[in-house]
């Protein structure tokens, strides 16, 4: 035990500190089971999602969730997002940020303790470690044992298993970016794009290193979240708390029996430290290394049950309640802590952005028009004195089917227009019809001609309406320059 300092943040003096391995002990309890459940759910979502199919017709991919970087489309079930609609994704990211604030002010670092990929994969890797090397004590023995065939064999087995999982993790990632069955086939036959192999390699190595070796170092030194956390926490945030007023002075069971009343409930069995995945001692109070995974609560409750003392020596307690308890006052009911102005404000903000995004999603048009006036030359004088302006018109058909649309001009009553490629001034009119490819932008050069002496600068608009739609979808305001 002396080789293994129980507290990672108790650093020896000096400029650099060697990482001290953490050998968390297996534990069972409410929170451990919750962690299992969350691990199963999150990993299932991660691995299964790319394989879900979703019928979108012949002109779009049939993968339910697909980030199609090559064609700049993002598919999520019934939602298709084009690059110019990226604000929806940005909104989701803002929601995720505020969601973290909400979660933090309500239940503390629950994200760190249960759902963070670093936590989930580290947990998985530790589980495998226990299966190969045995529990905490066996792991420590093996760590201290000299290198020999047995140790090498075990290390190779453990690392191979880790690598296999890491490969599976990195491998699953790429399926979000291409058709999963096809990519799987190509990947196995060595014909996939080199970026796929590079991505898998990088993610395999980061998973292997972060989950197998870096572990709590990522949380303590690399992740910015613990720093943001200190600003997000308040006296009503849930923290994993050691009830020192109940536990101290700590002493062994024998001492407690010898001096009843003089020794607290903590029997100094060190189980809370033994199970901690980041290797801290929660009895020192709140600290940056605590990811509030609550495994120490499970461990302590087990011990309290065994020695017949009340559970909850280590427990989720808010800072405020801790002070009240010490002063012998009644604590705040849970719902009052959860539904306080701060969490409500975060929730309103979070929900408001969510509603706004839903509204934006529901009201967005799937057919739109934009036009750019030629700047050089701004206008062209025709031989009969009329003025011609040219516009680059872009028609965006965001539906996965070909559509026939009509573009109509409103304003400048004397003017007429035609499409540069196919029309002519003789065949000019107030509107034209054109066929649009599915899920594509159609670019047209449109000429507008207006007779001489029809005023100076005039405003008009182009609107687009699909033939199978009773209403125009979109309108673009433009200017006709006459140079007069």
- Which residues in this chain contact other proteins in the complex, by CB under 8 A? 9-19, 214, 217, 221, 284, 374-377, 380-385, 388, 390, 420-421, 424-425, 447, 452
3-state secondary structure of 441: strand
Q: Nearest distance from residue 20's CB to other proteins, in Å? A: 10
Ranges of H-type helices in 364-461: none
Closest to other proteins by CB, 109 vs 388, is 388
Q: Nearest distance from residue 284's CB to other proteins, in Å? A: 8
- 444: tokens are 């047209």
Terminal-residue alpha carbon distance, the chain = 92
Closest to other proteins by CB, 402 vs 483, is 483
Q: Nearest distance from residue 444's CB to other proteins, in Å? A: 13
Q: Nearest distance from residue 213's CB to other proteins, in Å? A: 9
Closest to other proteins by CB, 221 vs 339, is 221
Question: CB burial class (10 A; 0-12, 13-18, 19+) of residue 11?
Answer: exposed
Nearest to 448 by CA among 435, 429, 465, 433: 429
Closest to other proteins by CB, 20 vs 324, is 20
Q: Which residues, other chains included, contact 457 with Cβ-Cβ below 8 Å and sequence gap of 6+?
A: 479, 480, 481, 482
Which residue's structure tokens are 């880790």? 162
Closest to other proteins by CB, 143 vs 424, is 424
* CA atoms lying within 13 Å on the CB side of residue 129: 26
DSSP code for 351: H
Cα 244 → chain centroid: 37
Closest to other proteins by CB, 203 vs 390, is 390
Q: Nearest distance from residue 240's CB to other proteins, in Å? A: 18
Q: Nearest distance from residue 6's CB to other proteins, in Å? A: 13
How far is residue 247's CA from residue 266's CA, in Å, rounded to a whole number?
A: 4
Closest to other proteins by CB, 385 vs 470, is 385
Q: Which residues, other chains included, contact 427 with Cβ-Cβ below 8 Å and sequence gap of 6+?
A: 418
Q: Nearest distance from residue 452's CB to other proteins, in Å? A: 7
Answer whether 200's CB lies under 8 Å from 169's CB.
no
């Amino acid at each position: 035990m002396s080789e293994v300092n129980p507290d990672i943040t108790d650093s020896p003096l000096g400029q650099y500190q060697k990482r001290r391995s953490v050998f968390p002990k297996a534990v069972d309890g409410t929170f451990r089971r919750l962690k299992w459940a969350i691990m199963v759910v999150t990993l299932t979502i991660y691995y299964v999602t790319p394989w879900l199919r979703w019928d979108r017709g012949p002109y779009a991919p049939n993968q339910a969730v697909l980030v199609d970087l090559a064609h700049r489309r993002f598919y999520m079930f019934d939602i298709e997002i084009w690059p110019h609609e990226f604000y929806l994704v940005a909104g989701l990211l803002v929601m995720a940020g505020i969601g973290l604030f909400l979660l933090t002010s309500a239940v503390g670092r629950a994200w760190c303790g249960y759902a963070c990929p670093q936590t989930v994969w580290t947990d998985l890797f530790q589980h495998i470690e226990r299966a190969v090397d045995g529990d905490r004590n066996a792991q420590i023995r093996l760590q201290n044992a000299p290198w020999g065939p047995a140790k090498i064999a075990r290390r190779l087995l453990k690392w191979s298993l880790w690598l296999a999982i890491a490969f599976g993790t990195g491998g699953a990632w790429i399926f979000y970016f291409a058709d999963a069955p096809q990519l799987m086939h190509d990947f196995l036959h060595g014909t996939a794009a080199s970026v796929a192999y590079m991505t898998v390699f990088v993610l395999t190595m980061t998973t292997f290193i972060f989950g197998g070796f870096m572990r709590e170092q990522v949380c303590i030194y690399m992740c910015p979240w613990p720093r943001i956390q200190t600003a997000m926490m308040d006296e009503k945030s849930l923290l994993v708390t050691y009830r020192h007023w109940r536990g101290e002075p700590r002493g062994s069971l024998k001492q407690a029996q010898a001096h009843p009343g003089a020794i607290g409930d903590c029997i100094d069995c060190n189980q809370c430290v033994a199970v901690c995945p980041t290797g801290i001692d929660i009895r020192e109070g709140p600290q940056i290394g605590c990811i509030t995974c609550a495994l120490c609560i499970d461990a302590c409750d087990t011990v309290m049950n065994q020695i017949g003392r009340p559970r909850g020596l280590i427990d989720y307690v808010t800072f405020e309640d801790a002070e009240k308890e010490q002063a012998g006052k009644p604590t705040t009911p849970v719902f009052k802590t959860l539904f306080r102005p701060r969490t409500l404000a975060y929730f309103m903000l979070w929900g408001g952005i969510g509603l706004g995004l839903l509204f934006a999603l529901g009201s967005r048009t799937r057919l739109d028009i934009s036009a750019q006036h030629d700047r050089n030359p701004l206008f062209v004088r025709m031989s009969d004195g009329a003025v011609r302006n040219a516009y680059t018109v872009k028609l965006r058909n965001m539906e996965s089917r070909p559509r026939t649309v009509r573009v109509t001009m409103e304003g400048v009553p004397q003017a007429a227009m035609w499409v540069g490629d196919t029309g002519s001034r003789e065949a000019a009119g107030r509107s034209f019809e054109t066929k649009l490819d599915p899920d594509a932008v159609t670019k047209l050069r449109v000429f507008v001609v207006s007779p001489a002496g029809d005023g100076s600068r005039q405003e008009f608009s182009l609107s687009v309406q699909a033939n199978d739609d009773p209403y125009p979808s979109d309108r673009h305001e433009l200017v006709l320059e006459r140079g007069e």
